């Protein structure tokens, strides 16, 4: 009789833990839906800027189509920025990526490095994607230092 009571107690605790884990997993997954396409089409030139007091090179211009396509693809694959849980109020350096198009249009995306990772489209205040943990920041840094 005592063994059956202990087993039922563990069964209830296990069930509650699984349900609670499912609810938390759903909430976290729901807050990270994929972002929209931020860089459409085929940009022809990429301008990389780093706004940071310690930066000595204000602009890097990339003409290599393979590099431009890789960066544009990485931006478009970023997940959405979390709806809660990340503080980006500190004054951090910002990468500005400006994509030029053959027809003269430009699109600018701002990226704040870790610990924030927030991505915004120039002229908008709302975060549209999350670069934290993605290869994008490493690739942008590598392109800036390789030139």
pLDDT in tens, 26-37: 555 544 455 578
Q: Residue 63 falls within a domain, yes or no?
A: yes
Q: What domain range includes position 7?
A: 1-30
Same domain assignment for residues 18 and 59: no
Q: Residue 39 falls within a domain, yes or no?
A: no
Same domain assignment for residues 112 and 85: yes
Reported as a single tens digit per residue, the pLDDT across 64-92 is 999 999 999 999 999 988 877 677 776 77
Q: Residue 142 falls within a domain, yes or no?
A: yes
Question: Which of 147, 109, 146, 112 shows the shortest CA–CA distance to 132?
Answer: 112
Q: Residue 36 falls within a domain, yes or no?
A: no
Q: Residue 70 falls within a domain, yes or no?
A: yes
- pLDDT at position 138 over 70: yes
Mean local confidence (pLDDT), 126-140? 89
Same domain assignment for residues 25 and 55: no
Strand order in the sheet with 45-51: 59-62, 45-51, 94-100, 106-111, 118-121, 129-130
At residue 34, the pLDDT reads 52
Same domain assignment for residues 69 and 24: no
Mean local confidence (pLDDT), 2-23? 65
Same domain assignment for residues 25 and 49: no
Question: Which of 90, 109, 92 shows the shortest CA–CA distance to 53?
Answer: 92
DSSP string, 41-62: S--SEEEEEEE-TT-S--EEEE
What domain count does the chain have? 2
Same domain assignment for residues 88 and 22: no
- pLDDT at position 95 over 70: yes
């Amino acid at each position: 009789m005592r063994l059956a009571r202990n087993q039922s107690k563990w069964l209830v605790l296990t069930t509650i833990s699984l349900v609670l884990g499912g609810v938390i997993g759903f909430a976290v997954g729901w807050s990270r839906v994929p972002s929209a396409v931020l860089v459409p089409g085929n940009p022809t030139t990429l301008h990389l800027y780093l706004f940071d007091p310690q930066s000595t090179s204000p602009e890097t211009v990339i003409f290599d189509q393979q590099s431009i396509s890789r960066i544009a693809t990485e931006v478009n694959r970023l997940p959405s920025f979390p709806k809660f849980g990340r503080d980006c109020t500190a004054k951090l350096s910002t990468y500005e990526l400006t994509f030029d198009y053959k027809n003269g249009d430009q699109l600018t995306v701002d990226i704040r490095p870790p610990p924030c990772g927030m991505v915004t489209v120039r002229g908008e205040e709302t975060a549209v994607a999350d670069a934290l943990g993605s290869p994008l920041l490493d690739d942008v840094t590598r392109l800036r230092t390789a030139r």
